[in-house]
Copies of this chain bind each other. A is one copy, B any other.
Amino acid sequence: MEVTRKNYKDCLNTVYSAIEEADFLAIDGEFSGISDGPNVSALTNGLDTPEERYTKLKKVSNELKLFLLPISLLCRYITKPFNFYIFPKPFNRTSPDIKFICQSSSIDFLASQGFDFNKVFCHGIPYLNQEEEAQLREQTEERRNQHANGVGTPSFISPSSSKGSSHVPEEHKDFINKVVEKVEALMVNSEKTLDLEPCTGECCLKPCLCSDGLAWFPKGLHVETVETEKKERYIQISKVDEEERKRREQQKLEKEQASYQMFLVLIEELNDAVGFSRVIHAISKSGKLVVGHNMLLDVMHTIHQFYCPLPEVYFKEVTMCVFPRAIIARSFTFQELITNTSLAELEKQLKESPFKSPQVETAEGFPSYDTAQEQLHEAGYDAYITGLCFIAMANYLGSFLTPPKAYISARSKLIEPFFNKLFLMRIIDIPYLNITGPDLQPKRDHVLYVTFPKEWKTSDLYQLFSAFGNIQVSWIDDTSAFVSLSQTDQVQIAMNTSRYAESYKIQTYAEYIQGKQQEKEKQTTKTWGEDSWVKPHYTCSTTSAFGYSRYSCNECFTLYIS
Residues of A near any B CB (own CB < 8 A) = 32-33, 37-39, 87-90, 97-105, 107-108, 110-111, 115-118, 120-122
| Contact flag A117-B107 (CB < 8 Å), given A33-B99, A99-B102, A102-B102 | no
| Contact flag A104-B117 (CB < 8 Å), given A97-B39, A99-B33, A111-B122 | no
Contacts of A98 in B (CB 8 A): 103-104
Is the CB–CB distance between A100 and B102 below 8 Å?
yes
| Contact flag A117-B111 (CB < 8 Å), given A90-B105, A99-B102 | no
Query: Which residue on B lies nearest to A122, using beta carbons?
Result: B111
Give Cα distance in the complex from A380 to B120, angstroms. 23
Given A99-B101, A115-B122, A116-B118, output 16 extra A-B contacts at Cβ < 8 Å.
A87-B104, A87-B107, A90-B104, A90-B105, A97-B105, A98-B103, A98-B104, A99-B103, A100-B101, A107-B121, A108-B121, A111-B118, A111-B121, A111-B122, A117-B117, A118-B118
**Closest CB in chain B relative to A85 CB, distance in Å:** 12
Contacts of A116 in B (CB 8 A): 118
Number of copies: 2
Give Cα distance in the complex from A104 to B90, angstroms. 7
Which of the residues B33, B97, B103, B110 comes within 8 Å of A104, measured between beta carbons? B97
Contacts of A37 in B (CB 8 A): 97
**Closest CB in chain B relative to A322 CB, distance in Å:** 23
Contacts of A32 in B (CB 8 A): 102
Give Cα distance in the complex from A102 to B67, angstroms. 13
Query: Which residue on B lies nearest to A96, using beta carbons?
Result: B104
**Closest CB in chain B relative to A141 CB, distance in Å:** 25
Contacts of A89 in B (CB 8 A): 104, 108
| Contact flag A117-B122 (CB < 8 Å), given A101-B99, A101-B101, A102-B102 | yes
Contacts of A88 in B (CB 8 A): 104
Give Cα distance in the complex from A118 to B110, angstroms. 11
Give Cα distance in the complex from A87 to B120, angstroms. 17
**Closest CB in chain B relative to A5 CB, distance in Å:** 10
Query: Can you pick out 6 interface pairs between chain A and chain B where the beta carbons lie within 8 Å of each other?
Result: A33-B99, A97-B103, A98-B104, A101-B102, A102-B102, A107-B121
Is the CB–CB distance between B108 and A90 below 8 Å?
yes
**Closest CB in chain B relative to A111 CB, distance in Å:** 4
Give Cα distance in the complex from A89 to B117, angstroms. 15
Query: Which residue on B lies nearest to A109, using beta carbons?
Result: B90
Is the CB–CB distance between A104 and B111 below 8 Å?
no
**Closest CB in chain B relative to A400 CB, distance in Å:** 45
Give Cα distance in the complex from A31 to B543, angstroms. 36
Contacts of A101 in B (CB 8 A): 99-102
Give Cα distance in the complex from A342 to B472, angstroms. 63
Query: Which residue on B lies nearest to A117, using beta carbons?
Result: B117
Contacts of A108 in B (CB 8 A): 89-90, 121
Contacts of A110 in B (CB 8 A): 121
Query: Which residue on B lies nearest to A123, using beta carbons?
Result: B111
Give Cα distance in the complex from A103 to B101, angstroms. 9
Contacts of A117 in B (CB 8 A): 117-118, 120-122
Give Cα distance in the complex from A88 to B33, angstroms. 14
Give Cα distance in the complex from A306 to B110, angstroms. 25
Contacts of A107 in B (CB 8 A): 87, 121
Give Cα distance in the complex from A561 to B67, angstroms. 51
Give Cα distance in the complex from A199 to B98, angstroms. 63
**Closest CB in chain B relative to A160 CB, distance in Å:** 48
Give Cα distance in the complex from A90 to B39, angstroms. 13
**Closest CB in chain B relative to A136 CB, distance in Å:** 16
**Closest CB in chain B relative to A374 CB, distance in Å:** 20
**Closest CB in chain B relative to A91 CB, distance in Å:** 10
**Closest CB in chain B relative to A157 CB, distance in Å:** 42
Give Cα distance in the complex from A107 to B98, angstroms. 10
Give Cα distance in the complex from A102 to B64, angstroms. 10
Closest 6 CB pairs of A and B: A117-B117, A111-B122, A98-B104, A97-B105, A117-B121, A88-B104
Give Cα distance in the complex from A97 to B38, angstroms. 10
Contacts of A118 in B (CB 8 A): 111, 116-118
Give Cα distance in the complex from A98 to B105, angstroms. 8
